[in-house]
Amino acid sequence: MSWSKLKQQLESFLCPALVGRFEYRATGYRYLPDKAGICYIAVDKKNVLNMNDATTLIRWYQTEQEIKNDAHIQIPINNEEIEEVRQDTKGLVPEERLKVIVRGRKISELAKELLSAQSSLSKSNFIAAANKFLSLPIEESLESKDILLNTLALVDRRVGKKRILNMSEKMKLKHPVVQYFYELRLSTL
């Protein structure tokens, strides 16, 4: 599918409140066949989603330690996870320390997921991800670990106000890019 048709299809699914503010852009190099084109997303005429751009508003993590030390990441912990660690340690660890252990484990898992999603985004082809998004049900795109699929789904008009409001806990565990687009969509409600 050509870029213009793909862009037209993506824009047809765009949330009405974001029309005019949100745009898909692509650059192509007609006379430089060895140089690939770049696809990116702009909000209010500012480049937001392009990992190669140093001026982007989104924080890209380089290491697992950066994620672990980021104070903005909130990790929800439930009683089942605490109980699991209590059983693993045979009840020898104080209650306060159990929460620290659970949080540490969850941050390690999250860090691995974020870094793998980020690296797949840098290697991926935006057009291939957009075609995949157009062929998948919206629920699969929302639940996916792929940053682009999450982003495209969050700005989709098929995701309603109630679903957006119910996703707040899940969004805390997503990449900052996805959190940015979630906040953008929340601001339009």
Q: Please give the Cα distance from 59 to 115 (Å, whole number).
A: 12
Instruction: Clarify whether residues 42 and 78 are in a common domain.
Output: no
Q: Are residues 129 and 180 in the same domain?
A: yes
Q: What CA–CA distances, in Å, run from 157 to 10, 56, 99, 131, 138? A: 11, 25, 39, 17, 10
User: Is 138 part of a structural domain of the chain?
Assistant: yes
Question: What average pLDDT does the structure give for the chain?
Answer: 80
Name the residue range of residue 98's domain. Answer: 64-113
At residue 23, the pLDDT reads: 87
N- to C-terminal Cα distance for the chain?
33
User: Model pTM greater than 0.75?
Assistant: no
pLDDT value, residue 154:
93
Nearest to residue 175, comparing CAs of 104, 72, 103, 100?
72
Provide mean pLDDT across the span 172-186. 87
Please check whether residues 133 and 179 belong to one and the same domain: yes
Shared domain check, 144 and 104: no
Q: Cα–Cα distance between 107 and 101 in angstroms, integer?
A: 10
- 68 falls in which pLDDT band (50, 70, 90)? confident
Residue 125 has pLDDT above 90, yes or no: no
Q: Does one domain contain both 96 and 129?
A: no
Rg (CA), the chain: 19
156, part of any domain: yes
pLDDT at residue 32, rounded to an integer: 53
Judge if 81 and 32 occupy the same domain: no
Q: Is 32 exposed, middle or buried (0-12, 13-18, 19+ CB in 10 A)?
A: exposed
pLDDT category of residue 121 using cuts at 50, 70 and 90 = low
Q: Is residue 119 part of a domain?
A: no
Contact 184, 18 (CB under 8 A): yes
Same domain? For 143 and 93 the reply is no
Is pLDDT above 90 for 138?
yes
Does 50 share its domain with 69?
A: no
My answer on whether 137 and 176 are in the same domain is yes
Last residue of a domain, one of 47, 78, 113: 113
Average pLDDT for 136-140 = 93
Residues facing residue 156 across a β-bridge: 14
Number of domains present in the structure of the chain: 2
Extract the tokens encoding 50.
């392009």
What integer is the mean pLDDT of 99-115?
Answer: 81
- 86 and 49, same domain (yes or no): no
Question: What mean pLDDT do residues 100-117 have?
Answer: 79
Confidence (pLDDT) at 89: 85
Task: Report which listed range, 16-20, 25-29, 70-74, 94-98, is most confident.
Answer: 16-20
Quick one: 134 and 183 in the same domain? yes
The amino acid present at 169, given as its one-letter code, is E
Are 49 and 69 in a shared domain?
no
Among 9-18, 44-53, 86-95, 116-125, name the one with the lowest average pLDDT: 116-125
Residue 118 lies in a domain: no
Upper half-sphere CA count for residue 150 (Cβ side, 13 Å): 24
Q: What are the tens digits of pLDDT across the range 142-152?
A: 998 888 889 89
Among 113, 136, 154, residue at a domain's last position: 113
